Copies of this chain bind each other. A is one copy, B any other.
Amino acid sequence: MHFNAQLSQASHGHQSLLCVGLDPDPARFPAGMKGDSRRIFDFCARIVDATKDLVNAFKPQIAYFAAHRAEDQLEQLMAYMKRVAPGVPVILDAKRGDIGSTAEQYAREAFERYQADAVTLSPYMGFDSIEPYLKYEGKGLILLCRTSNPGGSDLQFETLANGDRLFEQVARLAAGRWNRDGRLGLVVGATFPAELARVRELAPTLPLLIPGVGAQGGDAAATVKAAWRPDGPIIVNSSRAVLYAGDGEDFAQKARQVAQATRDALNAARPA
């Protein structure tokens, strides 16, 4: 199925704009698992079980697995999500960016090895660095546009000769010339609602993946007001605020409470 259709079904079915980001850090695991990198799968599976009816996507971040030699646990987790939450699309957050022949290998990693439904990519190397991923039918490609970290402005906020900021140019390309068959989306941080609104203006119907709500401090209501449209889907990611809501035996229950509260806050901000 097309990533956009999966996203739409999950958003409607679960009445949710929330994506839970799976950034497993063993140092922050609850008592009984703490510090144990062999428990990464177990930890994430508990979070998935506790939140799978509350989300429109899951987003595992590959670095958290790679740093612990836990690619096997990521494979296991990807298969587990497909089994217990078949209606929830999975975005592999990898931010890859390389030339054609190497991009083919990264695409194979994301879509064949890990069976992701979508992947995050860097736009810095241009269209032909994205093209190899388009060969995988139906898969979503979500390009970095405006990121919520302090240094995000270093290049993305540069003004071009035509008056655009660099991130606006990326939004234009992703909504226009690069979007050959409607499978591109954009990453736009929640911490700058005015820029989120600007990206939405330039890319009215593209899925926007919005990190920065929760631990990074973005405001849920401002985010939805700036970016949500009936035909412009949003995927509002929260990772740490959900994953580490509790550090006792009831961590999964605590995670569910935070996910539910965040989902409700996002829904409440949606215009009627």
Contacts and interface: CB of A to CB of B under 8 A. Distances in A.
Nearest to A153: B126
Contact of A154 (B69, B100, B113, B126): B126
A166 B164 CA distance: 13
A74 to B, nearest CB: 11
Interface string A91-109: 0000111111111011011
B106 A63 contact: yes
A124 B63 contact: no
A105 to B, nearest CB: 4
Given A63-B109, A66-B71, A125-B149, 6 more contacts: A64-B102, A66-B105, A123-B154, A124-B147, A130-B151, A158-B166
Contact of A126 (B69, B103, B127, B150): B150
Contacts of A103: 63
Contacts of A130: 151
Contacts of A9: none
Interface in A139-161: 144, 147-156, 158-161
Given A71-B71, A126-B151, A151-B129, A63 B105 contact: yes
Given A23-B102, A166-B166, A69 B113 contact: yes
24 contacts: A63-B102, A63-B103, A63-B105, A63-B109, A66-B71, A67-B109, A69-B113, A71-B71, A95-B96, A95-B97, A95-B122, A97-B122, A100-B149, A123-B154, A124-B124, A125-B152, A126-B149, A126-B155, A127-B151, A127-B154, A128-B151, A155-B170, A158-B160, A159-B161
A163 to B, nearest CB: 8
Contacts of A66: 71, 105-106, 109, 113
A64 B101 CA distance: 10
Given A69-B71, A95-B97, A161-B159, A126 B106 contact: no
